[in-house]
A and B are shown apart, each in its own frame.
Chain A
Amino acid sequence: MSNVVVPTTLDEALALLAADPQLSPLAGGTDFMVEVNHGARRPVRVLALRAVAELRGWRRDGDVLVIGAGCTYVSMADPAFAVAAPALAQAARTIGSPQIRNVGTIGGNLATASPAGDTLPVLMALGARVEVASTEGTRTLAVDELITGVKRTVLHPAELITSVRIPVARGPQEFCKIGTRNAMVISAAGIAVVLDREAHTVGCGLGSVTAAPVRATDAETFAAEAIDWSTLRAGAGTTERFGTLAADAATPIDDHRSTAAYRRHAIGVMARRALERCLS
């Protein structure tokens, strides 16, 4: 048997995976290959997913956007995608370099499960559903059910992430992140704020400030109640309070990229500014 397989259908990929516990799935490679190059991962056999047609691209299914796990960041920065999912498009454009965005995938961002994964706060804020498949069948998980800690997921070795479903935007959305360089930088803190003008809800996801993805639920509830949904305005102090509550949901750490105190502060400022933009 070949040590590197490049299936073209999902069924084929799942069958191969079920038959071989030492087969490592490889999507865009932007995380996988870093580990290999630095000796942190020594693959035995590899399942390259690049040719699996079902995993590619995105489509609109009524009020839902179905994003294939193999959809690249550059595809998500596309203007048509940005209309349906503005915050995700904004986040995708901040990831790595153009070279990374050309090949890196949303499925890979989820499977790597780094706290600094830039799509994760957006997917949390949107209440995304992640579809996971194996030869045994499929299951659907929320992002915080899938990712349980730093680089930890509940995926079984025979499972693949196949798609992500998010609601088509029904209101303003904003994504911001902190990096000490204007481009190609890992987020030291990130935030997504999503307003649903029909459901009258606010979603707020945080990045790089918790071990596993979280929503700032107190901030969400407060804002949903404070916003006048007919005019999309809010009273004085609303955005300030929203920022404070969002920062309260952060449990950041000190590391070589930033300090806990700064990260918490930055979440508060970005949450306030993001909501201000949504309400302006």
Chain B
Amino acid sequence: MSTQSYRLRVNGADHEVAEGWIGESLLDVLRDRLGLPGAKNACEEGECGSCSVLVDGVLSCACLVLAAAAIGTEITTVEGLGAEGALTDVQQAFIDAGAVQCGFCTPGLIVAIHDLLDQDASPERLVVEEALSGNLCRCTGYGRILEAVDLVAARRSAS
């Protein structure tokens, strides 16, 4: 197997990847080599959003990023969103709104919603729906998730 050693910058810290098979996706490397299982493995073809991360600030599916080619980028995963153990407002809203059931889609949605609200502080419902249309959830029917987004937007504008 063709391998490569390289360094990735994830959540502000450098990580060495020693002799990784070059076919490994960023999702594989985060989960299996770097101990960051927050990005989830549900489809591995970009059709579910469970592995959403930010690569240089761009919302991406980690399963579609060749890890060894992501050298020199800043990668942010769900683990890197909040300050040391504290909940972000999006995470808190998910709990308050009842947006979590099995939780498998949750980390990807949290990352996607942060990305959305960083670009548009109080998005229209349709904008939210389109922005989250790449994140499948099988438990909730999305009702409480959309509620959580509204809750964050309302709390941000109130503060």
- CB atoms of B44 and A38 under 8 A apart: yes
Contact A43 B134 (CB under 8 A): no
Given contacts A3-B3, A45-B22, whether A98 and B131 have CB atoms under 8 Å apart is yes
- 17 other A-B residue contacts (CB within 8 Å) besides A4-B6, A100-B61, A183-B134: A3-B3, A4-B4, A4-B69, A26-B66, A30-B64, A32-B66, A33-B25, A33-B65, A37-B44, A43-B23, A44-B2, A98-B112, A99-B46, A99-B61, A99-B134, A100-B134, A102-B58
Residues of B126-144 contacting chain A, CB below 8 A: 130-131, 133-135
Interface code B29-64, partner A: CB below 8 Å = 1, 0 otherwise? 000000000000000111101001001001111011
Q: A48 on the interface (CB 8 Å rule)?
A: yes
Q: Is the CB of A99 within 8 A of B71?
A: no
Q: Across the interface, which residues of B come within 8 angstroms of A44, CB to CB? A: 2, 22
What residue in chain B is nearest A72 (Cβ atoms)?
A: B58
Q: Does B72 contact A (CB under 8 A)?
A: yes
Tell yes or no: A265 within 8 A of B by CB: no
Residues in chain B near residue A4, CB distance under 8 A: 4, 6, 22, 66, 68-69, 71
Contact between chains at A36 and B23 (CB < 8 Å): yes
Q: Are A184 and B44 in contact (CB under 8 A)?
A: no
Chain B residues within an 8 Å CB radius of A34: 44-46, 64
**CB contact list, B66-123 vs A, under 8 A:** 66, 68-69, 71-72, 112
Q: Judge whether B130 and A183 touch: CB under 8 Å.
A: yes
Give residues in B with beta carbon < 8 Å to A: 2-4, 6, 22-23, 25, 44-47, 49, 52, 55, 58-61, 63-66, 68-69, 71-72, 112, 130-131, 133-135
| Residues of A with C-beta under 8 A to B25 | 33, 36-37
A50 to B61, CA, bound (A): 15
CB-CB under 8 A from B72, the residues of chain A are 6, 51
* A101: min CB distance to chain B, Å: 9
* B134-A103 in contact (CB<8A): no
When the two chains form the complex, which single residue of A48, A183, A184 contacts B66, counting CB atoms closer than 8 Å? Answer: A48
Whether B4 lies near A102 (C-beta < 8 A) is no
- A97 contacts B23, C-beta separation under 8 Å: no
| A127 close to B (CB within 8 Å) | no
Among all A-B residue pairs, the 7 with the closest Cβ atoms: A97-B134, A48-B69, A183-B133, A4-B68, A37-B44, A34-B45, A33-B64
Task: List 18 contacting pairs A-B, 8 Å CB cutoff, sorted by A.
Answer: A3-B68, A4-B4, A33-B45, A33-B63, A34-B44, A34-B64, A43-B22, A45-B2, A46-B68, A50-B69, A97-B47, A97-B49, A99-B46, A99-B59, A102-B59, A103-B55, A103-B65, A183-B133
Check: A42 CB closer than 8 A to any chain B CB: yes
Name the distance in Å between B18's Cβ and chain A's nearest Cβ.
Answer: 14
The reply to whether A29 and B22 contact each other, CB–CB distance below 8 Å, is no
CB distance from A179 to the nearest CB of B (A): 12
Task: Find B64's partner among A29, A45, A183 (CB 8 Å cutoff).
Answer: A29
B68 contact set on A, CB distance < 8 A: 3-4, 46
Residue A57 is within 8 A (CB to CB) of chain B in the complex: no
Report how far A36 CA is from B67 CA in the complex, Å: 12
Contact A33 B131 (CB under 8 A): no
The reply to whether the CB of A96 lies closer than 8 angstroms to some CB of chain B is: yes
Mask, A73-116, CB within 8 Å of B = 1, is: 00000000000000000000000111110110000000000000
Chain B nearest CB, measured from A279 CB (Å): 28
